[in-house]
Amino acid sequence: MKWTAPLAVAAAALCLASIQAYDECPEGFIDFADVNMSPVCMSFVHENTSWHETRNHCKSMNGDLGQLTGNLHQKVTHFIKHRPEFENKTFWIGGSDVTMEGRWVWVIDDTDIPRGTPHWFPCNGSEPDGGSFQNYLGLLPPGYYFHSLNGYGFRSGICQLF
């Protein structure tokens, strides 16, 4: 019985960790939250790896590939465009239609990724394309809109803590 209390404390700590309770972003992550909102912690990785390898890299940092919903996409794009070291880089993010061709979802929670503006290139509906040959989501310069891509391309990546 004497182990009950420490186990309960450990279990509570695990629960808190899984809920996500970041007061601020850990080292290596940048906070993209709106003012007075909970941190939205993103990290840019420059390993130039496939979508799956990049995702594993994100998971090794206790995160996953980024979920660029709403104005977070715009804020990340703005950030990339103002960093010379990111010039001509391409980035994997956490979308895919590999489970069901044509149904694009965020892999972190299986929620739908809306088509068209303001996220997909070039705002007139040509992306996503490539059918079952292009099942993974990335950002390409110069606009950093969403593109459906072959997952084996070597690219940088955007990780996020959830």
Nearest distance in Å: CB 134, Ca ion:
5
Q: Would you say 105 or 158 has its CB closer to Ca ion?
A: 105
Point out which residues bind Ca ion (CB under 5 A): 97, 135
Q: Per residue in 53-75, is it b (16+ CB within 10 Å) or e — as a string?
A: bbbebbeebebbbbbbeeebbeb
Q: Would you say 133 or 154 has its CB closer to Ca ion?
A: 133
Count of other CB atoms within 10 angstroms of residue 48: 14
Q: Would you say 39 or 127 has its CB closer to Ca ion?
A: 127
How far apart are the C-alpha atoms of 86 and 77, rounded to whole Å? Answer: 11
Nearest distance in Å: CB 159, Ca ion:
23
Nearest distance in Å: CB 98, Ca ion:
7
The string of DSSP codes covering 97-152 is: -SSSTT--EETTTTEE---STTTBTTSSS--S-SGGG--EEEEETTTTEEEEE-TT
Nearest distance in Å: CB 97, Ca ion:
4
Nearest distance in Å: CB 76, Ca ion:
23
Q: Would you say 33 or 98 has its CB closer to Ca ion?
A: 98
Which structure tokens are listed for 162?
């959830």
Q: Would you say 20 or 99 has its CB closer to Ca ion?
A: 99
